[in-house]
Amino acid sequence: MADTLLSTLDKLIASIRVLLNETGTTSGFWVDTEITDEIQEAQEEIGHETFCLRTWKTYTILGLVDETNDIFDERELRMDDDFIAIDEGVVYYNDVALKPTTQARLALGNNKWREQTGTPARYYVRGDMLGFDCKISAGDTVKFYQIERAAPLASETTTGHSLIPFNGDYRLINFRKLIRDYVVSMCWEKKGESNRSDKFWQKYQIGLQRMKELLNIDMDNSYQIVPEDHPARFYRRKRFPEW
């Protein structure tokens, strides 16, 4: 089945201009660069609100390259800039599955754990860092599921950009309309048309909630950079039968 629904940056801009009553061949009140910036912002907003983009990440540790080191404090790996959060699943180090833990638990078990070498057996999450119970080495591989950012859209092939909204994820075809509603709302706001802006903002909010329901995403809004009940949190509420 052909994918034609708001499938490119140009189609999004054209559809947005229809709703803004600007269908001529030249830009009117809103120029294409402004609309494009709002489209990129909408993708970022939707991606962070819904955690809808999930991918299997394979990362080869580089170590020190051109004075830039992706190893922090000998045992932590900084995520790439497409990272939002660790998804459900297992972290693998050199294809060996690791168990989740926290720095506090490691310290309780061995107050000299930071001096450990060898093959990691456990991992923890600290902000945008993925840490391990042993020192890590350049050339090793780390694999995990992550929730990722939407790549910026471009009209032609450009490094770091996508030609299709939401990184080309076919599940989200019907939700590209949310990008349009978000941008139309922002455009009317710029022109001081609050009523029109509010109308499309409400459509966007309703669509966003519907998107979460259909994709079964973050229904109680408790999913953060590290979920509340994830073992990699320093502190978490105990739940039955842990009481």
Residue 24 in this model has a pLDDT that exceeds 70:
no
Residue 223 in this model has a pLDDT that exceeds 80:
no
Q: What proportion of the chain, given as a percentage, has pLDDT over 70?
A: 85
- Candidate from 63-72, 90-99, 224-233 with smallest mean pLDDT: 224-233
Residue 19 in this model has a pLDDT that exceeds 60:
yes
Mean pLDDT across the stretch 67-81? Answer: 84
Pair 37, 198: CB distance under 8 Å = no
Question: Distance (Å, rounded) from C-alpha 12 to C-alpha 24?
Answer: 15
Q: Pairing between strand 99-100 and 122-126?
A: parallel
* φ, ψ of residue 86 in degrees (nearest 5): -70, 130
Question: Using alpha carbons only, how large is the chain's radius of gyration in Å?
Answer: 22
**Cβ density class 77-115: b for 16+ within 10 Å, e for less:** bebeebbbbbbeeebebeeeebebbbeebbeeeeeebee
Structure tokens at 226: 């590290």
Q: Pairing between strand 141-148 and 92-93?
A: antiparallel
Residue 149 in this model has a pLDDT that exceeds 80:
yes
Q: What's the gap between Cα 28 and its chain centre?
A: 33
pLDDT top residue among 81 and 133: 133
Residue 110 in this model has a pLDDT that exceeds 90:
no
Pair 169, 53: CB distance under 8 Å = yes
Question: Distance (Å, rounded) from C-alpha 224 to C-alpha 51?
Answer: 10
Residue 2 in this model has a pLDDT that exceeds 70:
no
